Copies of this chain bind each other. A is one copy, B any other.
């Protein structure tokens, strides 16, 4: 891999525009009837036409065989080696609700849960309480007393919240309290390293305080904590490539991820068409656009092959509007595969389509996992896509004399 320092040295200014359109969980598996994947079953005349003119390939988000979470999946697409840059769930959730973190903060993702009189978990999500209830309880938890530590507790959605432990010597390296099953009490937090011992103490004190404060609540009478993490220092896209980068995403977590690498959020409505409208309105103000479509992944996770197909078709119908903006580079891909037949994120390589005037056309008949095997991008790590996009946008100068 080319280092980010090398890429920074090669970056040169340009007035070109790049659109990275991510269909979350795009990669699929063949259905029983005819062996077609979701992308292959979808009617995608616009993407197919692009495939003929552009380049195809397959990308491993992290490495062959590795199933990525949303964080590594996107970091790879943004050009960062996910094995080198790691982001905790706590940080992700905080970023997704615009909660600024300081260097003294340790973030954790919290779930309100239900426990019985014996402290045994009966519902890991407390019946998915309304967000308003979550907000009230979060404010209550902020009043918990943990000596030497300021608490910031913010609701996310339903039973989910974020807590920031703000204090000295609060380091990463903690186990989580969520046992991932009911019928057992929350686990104590343990320090995995010497330097995280103070943080473990603080987290356990907070959990104990939460239990007391929530004792009379129902069904949300306890918390589960996971993803303890510090804000990572990731060089921003602007600092590396000199691009003004924007994120257009409906879900907070993806905006949060993008903000970690310096992208600015653009306001958008909920549909794919809304997102393209947001792209249109912001097109003059940025150089790089990350547009995130969530519903492909949700359909895959639900095992709903047909719904995933129809989301892909919904995206295809918007391609002409994107092309009308005349981006210099358009990449359509996923952050990982979520085959409907697998009902979860998977390790399967992700189809990649790159279109630009500088493509040596692959002449593929369609955009599909099958055709991507023969594309001239080859089978690459997702992190190699960013230099390719920058090259096609004429934003990288020659390496060496």
- A residues sitting closer than 8 Å to B (CB atoms) are 1-3, 6, 10, 28-30, 35, 37, 58, 62-72, 82-83, 86-89, 92, 109, 227, 339, 342, 345-349, 358, 360-363, 369-370, 373-380, 384-392, 396-401
Closest to A89 in B: B401
Chain B residues in 8 Å Cβ range of A348? 358, 360
With A and B bound together, what is the CA distance between A390 and B92 in angstroms? Answer: 28
Q: Are B2 and A62 in contact (CB under 8 A)?
A: yes
A378-B69 contact given A358-B342, A400-B87, CB 8 Å threshold = no
Q: Are B398 and A68 in contact (CB under 8 A)?
A: yes
Chain B residues in 8 Å Cβ range of A63? 1-2, 384, 387
With A and B bound together, what is the CA distance between A377 and B86 in angstroms? Answer: 26
With A and B bound together, what is the CA distance between A64 and B383 in angstroms? Answer: 10
Q: Are B30 and A360 in contact (CB under 8 A)?
A: yes
Q: Are A378 and B378 in contact (CB under 8 A)?
A: yes
A376-B29 contact given A342-B358, A400-B82, CB 8 Å threshold = no
Option from B37, B71, B379, B391 in Cβ contact (under 8 Å) with A379: B379
Chain B residues in 8 Å Cβ range of A376? 58, 349, 369, 373, 379
Q: Are A373 and B362 in contact (CB under 8 A)?
A: yes
Q: Are A401 and B360 in contact (CB under 8 A)?
A: no
Beyond A29-B358, A64-B380, A379-B380: 17 further Cβ-contacts under 8 Å? A1-B63, A2-B65, A28-B360, A58-B376, A64-B377, A64-B384, A67-B391, A68-B399, A346-B358, A348-B360, A360-B369, A369-B376, A373-B375, A373-B376, A374-B374, A377-B379, A378-B379
Chain B residues in 8 Å Cβ range of A71? 400-401
Residue in A58, A92, A391 whose Cβ sees the most chain B Cβ within 10 Å? A391
With A and B bound together, what is the CA distance between A72 and B398 in angstroms? Answer: 10
A374-B373 contact given A72-B400, A387-B66, A396-B347, CB 8 Å threshold = yes
Chain B residues in 8 Å Cβ range of A1? 63
Q: Are A66 and B10 in contact (CB under 8 A)?
A: yes
With A and B bound together, what is the CA distance between A377 and B349 in angstroms? Answer: 9
With A and B bound together, what is the CA distance between A64 and B2 in angstroms? Answer: 9
Q: Are A345 and B37 in contact (CB under 8 A)?
A: no
